[in-house]
Structure 1
Amino acid sequence: MYLLVVLLLTTIFLGFVYRQFKKTKNAKIERKPLFMQDLQHSKELLKDSISIAINNSEKLNDIKKKSNYLKECSL
């Protein structure tokens, strides 16, 4: 009788551990596409940031040229 109770509790415990392991394994598989989506999104943000930085650099150069021209005109 005692052996049956121990066997039953052990089976329940191992079933619970297996179920948790299975959930963890499935969760890891699901994270890969999300990681790839995050990576793609990060690449797009980086491209946008670089294009904004280039545009700002060009605008800054134009402002510097205009500023230098105005300084020359005022002298």
Structure 2
Amino acid sequence: MKALVSFLALTGIFFSVFSQEIPNGNFENWTKTGNYEEPDHWITPNMLLSGLGVSSVKKEFTNVHSGNYS
């Protein structure tokens, strides 16, 4: 029983360490799709709104926190 609890605790710690990273969390990587750009590894409504000529997600070049984009 003690070994099982130790195993489960170590397994939980192991998986919690790897669950903290957000892919493209700094929004530095973008991919051009049709007439708009999307941040890599993120889902946006741009695909649905592009037929209406509207783009809801845009890159910010001027007021950035860190890196090249906001």
TM-score interval for Structure 1 and Structure 2 normalised by the shorter chain: 0.3 to 0.5
Q: Give the strand-richer structure, 1 or 2.
A: 2
TM-score (norm 2): 0.38
Structure whose alpha-carbon radius of gyration is higher: 1
More relative contact order, 1 or 2 (CA 8 Å, 6+ apart): 2
TM-score (norm 1): 0.36
Greater percentage in helix: 1
